[in-house]
């Protein structure tokens, strides 16, 4: 390794690694002062959380459990990575200034972080309270203006997300890995191909080729070369989360009973747009690519309408068209996720300091298919046969799902099987306490609505001969015990199983 190579490694890896880690650490330290962990005196002076060194803490002594969950986000961040690159390219083309690019990039990082924290923090099942999250970032590079935009926007977003959720964040390892071996091989093959074609053109071996053809091929080579260069310089990264949860001593949940109320919590709309969290986002990406091709995130709703058949466009409700008008597909496909854990575990169930203010029997993170997820969760102990009756007529479907349903002729039931259909979280509660839950949610700017009831209808096996199973009256009788959901999707279907 030459001195120059050592210098490049220092500048591109060591120095940028240190700069990013320091920036993330400082912003997290500042944001953590407003976290729940801070109010419980669980923070070190550097803003980090370490339960082992805080064992004398009054609340920690009362804890029933300390739990850590680890999750790697994989493809969930890819849509945000694509959107970030679109923003950066707009800056490179001087379509927007640096300040605007920074605002856009920070907002994208906020969406991503809120979504990823929700995937962990909202997975509580037994009244746990999410106290902190530690992130570990693996990134291919942090070089040049692109790397600075990533670092600055991510640091700002970390602090904002801490202040929004009250969940402390520790900036863990930030590993700069360099170009992957696969990407390096592709780049090498592409460059050799370009050189060989260029050699043929320069030697004018193809004598029959006109100058216009020669010029066109040269333009193709230049475009290809530029595309390869941009692709090799794009930022690629992943985040691994370790989340810390606390739970107070004693059971804060009541037993499930007949007639209890189902309350659905909803994402907060932004400029009228709602979205289905990252649940099913991979399928959304695939569907949008099928319709719009590469660079789809930066394309407009009007371009989407022009791409699909007029008769399919006519299926889209006028209200949805009005909301989506003049918006980019990236702002229709993704939004800022709501993290429900602070409201549920802290406000309603008292955290680790207080008793619950309402009676709740089940906490359900609906990662997709609300009817199936809710019905399966209430029957998790297999002791009783409960059914659910859900009415989503007053819950608008996320616009991106409506657009895809219209463009690709996706039935309501199929759409529901893959998405949460705007019921990202649900609780089962005592009917007398539903009003309190709705009021507390409203006070924290979270939308909630009574969407159904739980019914205890134990199915009794029919008696008689084997042939009696084919008696139509018995089949009709069994229909009573199906789970039901009405008002689903584009066509507001009624679905049961």
Confidence of residue 57 (pLDDT cuts 50, 70, 90): low
Same structural domain, 91 and 193: no
Same structural domain, 198 and 139: no
Give me the pLDDT at residue 467, please.
46
Measuring CA to CA, which residue among 205, 329, 244, 227 is closest to residue 35? 244
Decide which of 32 and 62 is more confident. Answer: 32
- pLDDT (average), residues 324-330: 94
Residue 311 lies in a domain: no
Confidence of residue 72 (pLDDT cuts 50, 70, 90): low
Give me the pLDDT at residue 390, please.
93
Measuring CA to CA, which residue among 348, 394, 389 is closest to residue 370? 389
Same structural domain, 377 and 460: yes
Same structural domain, 132 and 195: no
The DSSP output letter for 469 is G
Report whether pLDDT(65) > 50. Answer: no
Residue 291 lies in a domain: no
**What does DSSP say about strands 261-266 and 168-176: parallel, antiparallel, or unpaired?**
unpaired
Measuring CA to CA, which residue among 253, 255, 252, 244 is closest to residue 65? 244
Give me the pLDDT at residue 491, please.
92
Residue whose pair of structure tokens reads 């349903």 in the numeric block: 405
What's the CATH code of the domain at 158? 3.30.1330.10
In sequence order, what E strands does 285-411 have? 360-365, 386-391
- pLDDT (average), residues 482-492: 90
Give me the pLDDT at residue 200, please.
76
pLDDT in tens, 342-366: 999 999 999 888 899 999 999 999 8
Name the least confident of 83-92, 156-165, 167-176, 225-234. Answer: 225-234
Decide which of 72 and 470 is more confident. Answer: 72
Report whether pLDDT(449) > 60. Answer: yes
Residue 2 lies in a domain: no
Give me the pLDDT at residue 470, please.
46
Give me the pLDDT at residue 164, please.
95
Confidence of residue 322 (pLDDT cuts 50, 70, 90): very high
Residue whose pair of structure tokens reads 């907002």 in the numeric block: 107
Same structural domain, 266 and 403: yes
Q: What angle do CA 110, 113, 119 make, to 5 degrees?
A: 140
**What does DSSP say about strands 360-365 and 425-429: parallel, antiparallel, or unpaired?**
antiparallel
Residue 449 lies in a domain: yes
Q: How many domains does the chain have?
A: 3
Same structural domain, 223 and 348: no
Report whether pLDDT(36) > 50. Answer: yes
Q: What angle do CA 105, 84, 322 make, to 5 degrees?
A: 80
Residue 455 lies in a domain: yes
Q: CA-CA distance, 256 to 456, in Å (whole number)?
A: 9
Same structural domain, 105 and 187: no
Name the least confident of 200-214, 315-329, 477-491. Answer: 200-214
Give me the pLDDT at residue 407, please.
96
Distance set, CA 327 to CA 88, 92, 102, 302, 403 (Å): 18, 22, 19, 8, 13
131 near 244, Cβ under 8 Å? yes
**What does DSSP say about strands 484-488 and 386-391: parallel, antiparallel, or unpaired?**
parallel
Q: CA-CA distance, 49 to 39, in Å (whole number)?
A: 12
Mean pLDDT (the chain) is 84
Report whether pLDDT(46) > 80. Answer: no
Name the least confident of 70-79, 98-107, 318-327. Answer: 70-79
Helices and strands: H and E segment counts in the chain: 20, 11
- pLDDT (average), residues 303-323: 96
Residue 301 lies in a domain: no
Give me the pLDDT at residue 206, please.
54
pLDDT in tens, 275-304: 888 777 788 888 999 999 988 888 999 999
- pLDDT (average), residues 361-375: 87
Same structural domain, 153 and 49: yes
Decide which of 390 and 189 is more confident. Answer: 390
455 token code pair: 């019914």
User: 374-379 long-range CB contacts below 8 Å, 24 or more apart?
Assistant: 374/262, 374/426, 375/483, 378/256, 378/428, 378/454
Same structural domain, 480 and 391: yes
Same structural domain, 369 and 393: yes
Same structural domain, 57 and 173: yes
Confidence of residue 28 (pLDDT cuts 50, 70, 90): very high
Name the least confident of 10-14, 168-172, 426-430, 489-493. Answer: 10-14
185 token code pair: 């091989």
Residue 462 lies in a domain: yes
- pLDDT (average), residues 150-155: 96
Same structural domain, 82 and 211: no
- pLDDT (average), residues 97-108: 96
Q: Which domain holds residue 429?
A: 261-272+336-496
Residue 17 lies in a domain: yes
Decide which of 328 and 4 is more confident. Answer: 328
372 token code pair: 């199936």
Q: What angle do CA 165, 79, 413 make, to 5 degrees?
A: 90
Decide which of 124 and 260 is more confident. Answer: 260
- pLDDT (average), residues 233-242: 87
């Amino acid at each position: 390794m030459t001195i120059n190579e050592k210098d490049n490694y220092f500048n591109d890896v060591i120095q940028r690694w240190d700069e990013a880690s320091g920036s993330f650490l400082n912003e997290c330290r500042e944001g953590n002062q407003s976290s729940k962990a801070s109010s419980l005196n669980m923070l070190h002076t550097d803003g980090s959380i370490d339960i082992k060194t805080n064992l004398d803490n009054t609340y920690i002594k009362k804890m029933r459990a300390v739990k850590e969950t680890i999750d790697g986000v994989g493809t969930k961040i890819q849509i945000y990575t694509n959107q970030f690159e679109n923003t950066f390219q707009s800056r490179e083309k001087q379509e927007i200034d640096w300040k605007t690019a920074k605002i856009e990039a920070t907002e994208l990082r906020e969406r991503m972080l809120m979504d990823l924290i929700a995937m962990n923090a909202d997975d509580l099942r037994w009244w746990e309270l999410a106290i902190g999250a530690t992130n570990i970032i693996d990134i291919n590079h942090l070089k040049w203006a692109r790397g600075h935009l990533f670092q600055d926007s991510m640091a700002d977003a970390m602090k904002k997300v801490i202040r929004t959720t009250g969940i402390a964040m520790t900036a863990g390892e930030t590993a700069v890995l360099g170009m992957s071996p696969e990407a390096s091989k592709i780049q090498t093959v592409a460059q050799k191909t370009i050189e060989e074609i260029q050699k043929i053109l320069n030697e004018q071996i193809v004598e029959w080729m006109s100058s216009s053809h020669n010029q066109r091929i040269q333009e193709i080579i230049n475009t290809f070369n530029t595309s390869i260069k941009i692709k090799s310089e794009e930022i690629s990264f992943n985040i691994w989360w370790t989340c810390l949860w606390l739970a107070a001593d004693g059971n804060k949940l009541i037993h499930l009973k007949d007639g209890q109320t189902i309350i659905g919590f909803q994402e907060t709309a932004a400029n009228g747009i709602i979205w289905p969290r990252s649940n099913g986002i991979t399928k959304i990406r695939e569907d949008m690519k099928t319709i719009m091709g590469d660079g789809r995130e930066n394309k407009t709703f009007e371009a989407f309408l022009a791409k699909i058949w007029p008769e399919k466009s006519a299926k889209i409700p006028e209200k949805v068209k009005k909301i989506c008008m003049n918006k980019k597909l990236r702002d229709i496909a993704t939004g800022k996720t709501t993290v429900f854990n602070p409201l549920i575990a802290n406000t309603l169930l008292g955290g680790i300091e207080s008793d619950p203010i309402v009676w709740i029997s089940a906490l359900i993170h609906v990662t997709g298919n609300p009817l199936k997820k809710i019905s399966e969760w209430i029957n998790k102990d297999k002791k009783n046969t409960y059914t659910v009756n859900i009415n989503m007529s007053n819950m608008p479907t996320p616009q991106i799902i409506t657009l895809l349903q219209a463009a690709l002729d996706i039935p309501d039931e199929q759409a529901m099987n893959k998405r949460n259909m705007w019921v990202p979280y649900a609780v089962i509660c005592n009917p007398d306490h539903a009003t309190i839950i709705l009021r507390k949610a409203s006070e924290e700017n979270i939308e909630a609505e009574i969407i159904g009831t739980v019914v205890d209808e134990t199915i009794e096996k029919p008696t008689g001969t084997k042939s009696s199973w084919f008696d139509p009256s018995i089949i009709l009788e069994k229909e009573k015990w199906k789970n039901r959901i009405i008002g689903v999707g584009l066509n507001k279907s009624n679905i049961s199983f």
